[in-house]
Amino acid sequence: YEILTDSQKRAAYDQFGHAGVNQQAGGGSGFGGGGFGDAFSDIFGDIFSGGGGGQRVRKGADLQYNLELSLEDAVAGTTVKIKVPTHKACTDCAGTGAKKGTAPETCTTCAGHGQVRMQQGFFSVQQTCPACRGTGQVIKDPCNSCHGEGQVKHYKSLSVEVPAGVDNGDRIRLSGEGDLGERGAPPGDLYVQMRVKTHAIFERDNADLYCDVPISIVIAALGGELEVPSLNGRLKLKIPAGTQSHKLFRMRGKGVKPVRGGPVGDLICRVIVETPVKLSKEQKELLEQFAESMGKSVKKHSPNENSWMDGVKKFFEDMKS
């Protein structure tokens, strides 16, 4: 009967049921024992402040450091000393931000809670206090060294253990080695990102290594054995007679062991047949004699050239027809 005769309570009942009426019976403060206001206050408090009540101080920022490595160090692993630009607690104020001889005062806006509640009808929204930025304290007389921030710029020296097999873009996370937190909050993390420098001989593709191996026309024609480089020392490579330029030779297990596990990659040698230059008169004559000795057997000795010439001939014949 009380609800039916009270237009305000009846409107609340029509819109929200018993919860709306119970909210009004509790005084409408939003702090009642589990009423409608409390339920929405908890939800919106989580949205705006990340959880329950209490002072809010920001965790330190995560930092990234780009570490340049040689290919050799990336493959074998190494220990590197780095200096990271970050912040440390101000020694003049012991990190409080207040001038020496003074102390931070309790924030009058939030009464030291670090958060304030905004009541809008049935909704109670919890937000970080704008006056103290969630710390619950304000500084009336700031420190001259850190201007009230409680921290100053600093370069931190660290040793980074780089595991064997890392590649471009890989990251190492160093927990708690990031920027300093705000007035007692935990520090952030440091992410060390790998940048592997270009190598003069090798190219890396995942676990495989590639290298170009120039060979003379004589070795390509007659075959032979030569030394090729690897990251573990010199290796012997047999070149069969009649090897063509850009042929690939795979040396199993001579590549990179992946940092996340898996089989060791291969070393892939790409031979490049070099055409002789700056020939003497005698050498030119010998080559001419060699060409004459080929005679009509050129099809046998140069199958690729012969096939290409046949294709060109057919191309021009098709154009005429």
What's the CATH code of the domain at 253? Answer: 2.60.260.20
DSSP string for 171-236: EEEETT-SSPPSTTPPP--EEEEEEEPPPSS-EEETTEEEEEEEEEHHHHHH-EEEEEEETTEEEE
In a domain, 121, yes or no: no
Same domain, 263 and 207: yes
Question: Distance (Å, rounded) from C-alpha 95 to C-alpha 305?
Answer: 79
Average pLDDT over residues 123-143: 87
pLDDT-wise least confident of 14-23, 40-49, 153-162, 305-314: 40-49
Q: Which pLDDT score, from 0 to 100, does residue 314 have?
A: 63
Same domain, 261 and 175: no
Average pLDDT over residues 24-30: 43
Question: Distance (Å, rounded) from C-alpha 197 to C-alpha 68?
Answer: 7
Same domain, 140 and 186: yes
Same domain, 108 and 188: yes
Same domain, 42 and 93: no
> 266-320 pLDDT, tens per residue?
999 999 999 888 989 999 998 888 888 876 555 555 656 556 556 666 666 666 6
Comparing 119 with 45, the larger pLDDT belongs to: 119
Task: Let me know the angle formed at the C-alpha of 75 by 74 and 76, rounded to the nearest 5 degrees.
Answer: 100
To the nearest whole percent, how much of the chain has pLDDT over 90?
Answer: 47
In a domain, 309, yes or no: yes
Same domain, 105 and 206: no
Which among 170, 196, 222 is the end of a domain? 196
- Is the whole-model pTM more than 0.75? no
Q: Which pLDDT score, from 0 to 100, does residue 117 have?
A: 87
Q: Give strand pairing partners of 68.
A: 195
In a domain, 260, yes or no: yes
Same domain, 90 and 184: yes
Same domain, 158 and 247: no
Say which DSSP state 163 is in. P
Q: Which pLDDT score, from 0 to 100, does residue 181 have?
A: 85
Which among 145, 169, 196 is the end of a domain? 196
> 246-264 pLDDT, tens per residue?
999 999 999 999 999 999 9
Structural domain containing residue 288: 284-321
In a domain, 55, yes or no: no
Q: Which pLDDT score, from 0 to 100, does residue 63 have?
A: 95
Mean of per-residue pLDDT scores for the chain: 80
Q: What is the number of structural domains in the chain?
A: 4
| Amino acid found at 159 | S
| Amino acid found at 234 | R
> 28-84 pLDDT, tens per residue?
434 334 444 443 433 344 444 444 445 556 788 999 999 999 999 999 999 999 999
Q: For residue 220, which phi and psi values (nearest 5 degrees)? A: -60, -40
Question: Distance (Å, rounded) from C-alpha 183 to C-alpha 181?
Answer: 6
Comparing 12 with 108, the larger pLDDT belongs to: 108
DSSP string for 59-77: PPPPEEEEEEE-HHHHHH-
In a domain, 145, yes or no: yes
Question: Distance (Å, rounded) from C-alpha 165 to C-alpha 258?
Answer: 5
Same domain, 102 and 183: yes
Above 50 in pLDDT, residue 137?
yes
**Sign (positive/negative) of CA torsion 143, 149, 150, 155?**
negative
Above 90 in pLDDT, residue 155?
yes
Comparing 43 with 216, the larger pLDDT belongs to: 216
Question: Distance (Å, rounded) from C-alpha 6 to C-alpha 90?
Answer: 61
Q: Which pLDDT score, from 0 to 100, does residue 100 have?
A: 87
pLDDT band of 210, cuts 50, 70, 90: very high
Q: Tokens 């990336």 belong to which residue?
A: 74
Q: Which pLDDT score, from 0 to 100, does residue 134 have?
A: 82
Which residues lie closer than 8 Å to 307 by C-beta, 6 or more apart? none
Same domain, 172 and 147: yes
In a domain, 215, yes or no: yes
Same domain, 75 and 189: yes
Question: Distance (Å, rounded) from C-alpha 190 to C-alpha 193?
Answer: 10
In a domain, 58, yes or no: no
Same domain, 29 and 148: no
Q: In the numeric block, which tokens belong to residue 65?
A: 């450091």
How many Cα neighbours within 13 Å face the side chain of 29?
6
| Amino acid found at 135 | T
> 168-198 pLDDT, tens per residue?
999 999 999 999 887 778 999 999 999 999 9
